[in-house]
Amino acid sequence: MSKIQTFSSFVKRLIIIIVGLLITLTLLFSLLAYFVPSVKELQDILLSSFGNPSLMLNYLDQKGLGLNSLFFKVVVFPGFTWAALIAAEIIWFERKFLAKMQMRVGPLYAGKIAGLLQPIADVIKLVFKEIIAPSSSDKWFFLSIPIIITSIAAALLAVLPVSEGWIIMRSDVSVLIIFALVGFVPIAVLLGGWASNSKYPFIGALRGLHQMIAFEIPMLISTLGVVLLTGTLDLVNIVYAQSNIWFILLMPIGAFVFFTCMIIELERIPFDLPEAESEIASGYLTEYTSMAFGNLQLGVYIRFYAMAGVFTTMFLGGWYGPQILPNGFEIANQVIWFTIKTLLVMILAIVLRGVNPRVRIDLLLRMGWSSLLILSFVNLFLVILILQTELSQIFGV
C-alpha cells in the first residue's frame, strides 16, 4: 500500500472503496433476486415505490415492520434511534452551552450551523481509530463492557412512556424494571475497571461502586413516595394520576432527592468521581479506545436521557401539557411536551456541571447516607400525611 500522502489522496482512496462496495452489492442483489422469489418481490416494490412511498409502507406493514409495529417502536421512535439522536444532540448542546458559559465558542466547524454535526464527526473519527485492549487485561470481559452498559441504557427506554400510545412495553411493574436495570450498572462498571487490570481504572471502578450503591437507597425511597401516592407501579398510571397536579408540587423534597441521586447515579461533574481526570486519569474509562469508548459515551448519554425521562414521568407529569398543536395532533403534542420537560431536566444537570467542582468521596458518602436519606424519609412522611388526611381528595389523587 503506498503511503497516503495528503488528504486528497485519502479521499480519492475512500471514494474508490465506496464505489467498489456499491457495485458488488448491486450485482449480488440482482443475482439473488434472480433466484430467490421474496427478494425479487422486494426489488419490484423498491423500484415502483419511487413513485409513491405508500406502496413501501403497506409492504412493510404486511411484513410486520410497519409504523406501529413493535419493531418500529423498539428500533426507531421511542426506542434506540430516537434516544441516540437526542443523546448525540445533548452532547453537542452540552459542549456548546458550557462553552458559552465559559467565554469560549465550542464546536463550530462540523456542520454548517454552529457545529451541529460535531457528535457525528466524533463518531466517524472514533470508528476509524483502532480498538486496543491492554495486554494484561481480560480481553473478552474488557470488550464486552461497553456493549453491556449501552444495552442497559437502551433497555431503560422500553418502559418510558413517551406519550399515551407510544410506549414500547407497558407492564404494571415498570418502576421495578427501571430500578433492576439501574442496579446492574455498578456491576458493569466494576467489571470494566477490574478487566482493564491497571491501578487507576481499578480505583475508579471501586469509587463508582461506592457511589452508585450508596445512592440507590435514597432514590428508591423517593420513588416509593410516588408509588405510595398513586398506588401503582406502572409509569403510565403514574402519569395519569398527575393529570390535574404534578407530583413535583406535592413533594418537592422527593423531587430534589431524586434529581440529586440521578446526577450521582449518572456520575455527572459534581459527582463524577469514577472518572475524575485530575486524580485518577479518567478512572475506569482510561483503557478504552475508539469505538469501545464511543459506545460507552453513547451508553452514558442514553442513560442520561432515560433517567431524565423517568424524572419527568414521575414528577413533572409525563406528557401532560397545554395544547399547543391543532387538536388533530394530540399524540404529537404529548410527545413534544414530554421531550421539552426531559430536555429541561437535562439542561439543569448541564448547568450544574458548569458551575460546580468535583466532590470528594467521603463528602459524597456522608451526604448520601445522612442528608439525602433523611430527606427521603421526610418526603415519605409527607406523602403519608397527604394520603391519610383529606388533602388527597383536594388534589384529586
Partner 1 sequence: MSKLSLSVGPQHPGSGHMRIILTLSGDYIIEAIPDPGYVHRGEEKLAEYRNYIQNIPHLERPVVLDATGAIFPYVLAVEDLMNIIVPERAQFIRVIMAELNRIISHLYYMAIYGIFMGHSTMFMWPVGDREVFIDLANTIAGQRVTYAFLVPGGVRNDMPEKVKEQADKACNYFEKRLIEYEHIFMNNPLFEKRTKGVGILPKQDAIRLGVVGPTLRASGVKSDVRKDDTYSIYNQLDFEIPVSNACDSWSRAWIHMEEMRQSMSIIKQCLKRIPTGPVKLNLKQIKVPPGESYSRVEAARGSLSYYLISDGGKVPYRVRIMTPSFRNLITIPYIMKGVMLADMPPTYWGIDYWPVEADR
Partner 2 sequence: MVFIIKLLSSIISGMNQVFKRRMTFRYPDQRLFIEGDGYKYDPKTGIGINGYRGRHILYLEKCTGCSLCVMMCQGISQAIEMKNLPNKQITVNKKSMFPQIDYSKCVYCGFCVDACPFEALFETNEYELVSYDRESLLFTPEQLAIPPKKRPEPTVNLKYGDSDVYHG
Residue 311 C-alpha from the chain's centroid: 13
204 binds partner 1 (CB under 8 A): no
Instruction: Return the residue of 46, 352, 365, 373 that touches partner 2, per CB under 8 A.
Output: 352
Handedness of CA 150, 152, 154, 157 (dihedral sign): negative
- Smaller CB distance to partner 1: residue 152 or 280? 280
100 binds partner 1, rule: CB under 8 A: no
Which of 184, 172, 171, 250 has its CA nearest to residue 216?
184
- Interaction between residue 100 and partner 2 (CB under 8 A): yes
- Interaction of residue 113 with partner 2, rule CB under 8 A: no
Asked if 159 and 167 count as a contact pair (C-beta separation under 8 A), the reply is: yes
Nearer to partner 1, 65 or 98 (CB): 98
CA gap 288, 200 in Å, rounded = 13
Query: Among residues 62, 356, 370, 389, which is the contact residue for partner 2, using CB under 8 A?
Result: 356
- Binding segment (CB under 8 A) for partner 2, from list 42-50, 103-111, 194-202, 232-240: 103-111
Say whether residue 103 binds partner 2 (CB under 8 A): yes
Cell 421531550, residue? 339
Q: Which of 102, 243, 323, 370 binds partner 1 (CB under 8 A)?
A: 102
Q: Tell me how far apart the alpha carbons of residues 287 and 281 are, in angstroms, rounded to a whole number.
A: 10
Half-sphere exposure (CA, 13 Å, Cβ side) for 281?
A: 9
Determine which residue in the list 72, 97, 240, 369 makes contact with partner 2, applying CB under 8 A.
Answer: 97
With beta carbons less than 8 A apart as the criterion, state whether 225 and 254 touch: yes
Distance in angstroms (rounded) separating the CA atoms of residues 223 and 257: 10
| Options 42-50, 56-64, 317-325, 350-358: segment touching partner 2 (CB under 8 A) | 350-358
131 binding partner 2? (CB under 8 A): no
* Shortest reach from residue 315's CB to partner 1, in Å: 24
Per-residue contact track with partner 2, 52 to 91, x per CB under 8 A? ----------------------------------------
For position 130 contacting partner 1 by CB under 8 A, the verdict is no
Q: Which residue, 134 or 354, has its beta carbon nearer to partner 2?
A: 354
The residue type of 29 is: F
CA–CA separation, 166 and 69 (whole Å): 11
Residue 347 amino acid letter: I
Residue 165: partners with Cβ closer than 8 Å, 6 or more residues away: 68, 331
Q: What is the DSSP letter of 329?
A: G
CB 204 within 8 A of CB 359: no
Residue with cell 409492504: 59
CB of 11 to partner 2, least distance (A): 21
**For residues 105 and 127, which CB has a smaller minimum distance to partner 2 in the complex?**
105
What is the three-state SS of 219-263? HHHHHHHHHHHHCCCCHHHHHHHCCCCCHHHHCHHHHHHHHHHHH
104 binds partner 1 (CB under 8 A): yes
17 binds partner 2, rule: CB under 8 A: no
CA distance linking residue 308 with residue 345, whole number of Å = 6
The answer to whether 1 contacts partner 2 (rule: CB under 8 A) is no
Per-residue mark of binding to partner 1, 357-376 (x: CB under 8 A) = xxxxxxx-------------
Residue 351 interface partner, choices partner 1, partner 2, none, CB cut-off 5-8 Å depending on type: partner 2
Does 269 help bind partner 1 (rule: CB under 8 A)?
Answer: yes
Window 341-360: residues binding partner 1 (CB under 8 A) = 354-360
Query: Angle between the 80-101 and 330-355 helix axes, to the nearest 10 degrees?
Result: 40
Q: Note whether 114 binds partner 2 by CB under 8 A.
A: no
Residues in contact with partner 1 by the rule CB under 8 A: 98, 101-104, 199, 203, 269-270, 272-273, 276-281, 354-363
Residues in contact with partner 2 by the rule CB under 8 A: 97, 99-105, 108, 351-352, 354-356
